């Protein structure tokens, strides 16, 4: 008896379902990777602005502050324009009470000797969270990367 060669309809549907599942997993993984890259880039830009502000305080021998608008998702270094974070990115600020203008607006101030009021800023997009810490004594700016990376 001569059997026809080929695939049954059930086999073809099963393979197509597996391909669709694999593509979905890849899309989710790539999407998470892009979120992480966006938060990382925004964190590095904010760190650069904080370090610039500290440098200006030391060079000009007077205190300088980086303004942070949590609700507006933006920040501004002295003499610079506001920098807005990407859409859907969230921001949290902890700083000295004396540097808070209201519930969503505050500053991290640097002094002529390089010291600071201290504080931290968290940037998050989805599950990815990056934390930027400013040491009050030394003014050192440090990025705390997500633990799962």
- Domain range annotation of the chain: 9-144
Report pLDDT for 114: 95
Report pLDDT for 105: 94
Nearest alpha-carbon partner for 94 in 128, 124, 122: 122
pLDDT in tens, 78-135: 999 999 998 899 999 999 999 999 989 999 999 999 999 999 999 999 888 999 999 9
Report pLDDT for 18: 83
The CATH code of the domain at 9-144 is 3.55.40.10
3-state SS track over the chain: CCCCCCCCHHHHHHHHHHHHHHHHHHHHHHHHHHHHHHHHHHHHHHHHHHHHHHHHHHHHCCCEEEEEECCCCEEECCCCCCEECCCCCEEEEEECHHHECCCCEEEEEECCCCCECCEEEEEEECCEEEEEEECCCCCCEEEECCCCC
CA 59 to chain centroid, in Å, comes to 28
Per-residue pLDDT band at 147 (split at 50, 70, 90)? low
pLDDT in tens, 22-65: 777 666 555 555 677 888 899 999 999 999 999 999 999 999 99
Q: What is the pTM of this model?
A: 0.77
Report pLDDT for 149: 43
What's the rounded Cα separation, in Å, for the pair 84 and 81? 10
How crowded is residue 140: how many other Cβ atoms within 10 Å of its Cβ? 15
Sign of CA dihedral 31, 32, 37, 42: positive
């Amino acid at each position: 008896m001569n059997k026809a060669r080929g695939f049954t309809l059930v086999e073809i549907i099963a393979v197509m379902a597996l391909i669709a599942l694999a593509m979905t997993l890849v899309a989710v993984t790539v999407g998470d990777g892009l979120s992480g890259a966006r938060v990382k880039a925004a964190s590095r830009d904010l760190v650069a602005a904080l370090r610039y502000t500290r440098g200006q305080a030391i060079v000009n021998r007077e205190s300088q502050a980086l303004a942070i608008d949590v609700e507006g998702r933006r920040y501004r270094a002295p003499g610079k324009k506001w920098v807005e974070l990407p859409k859907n990115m969230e921001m949290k600020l902890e700083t000295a009470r004396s540097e808070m203008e209201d519930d969503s607006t505050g500053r991290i101030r640097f002094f002529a000797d390089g010291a600071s009021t201290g504080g931290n800023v968290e940037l998050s997009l989805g599950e990815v969270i990056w934390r930027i810490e400013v040491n009050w004594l030394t003014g050192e700016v440090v990025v705390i990367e997500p633990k799962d990376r």
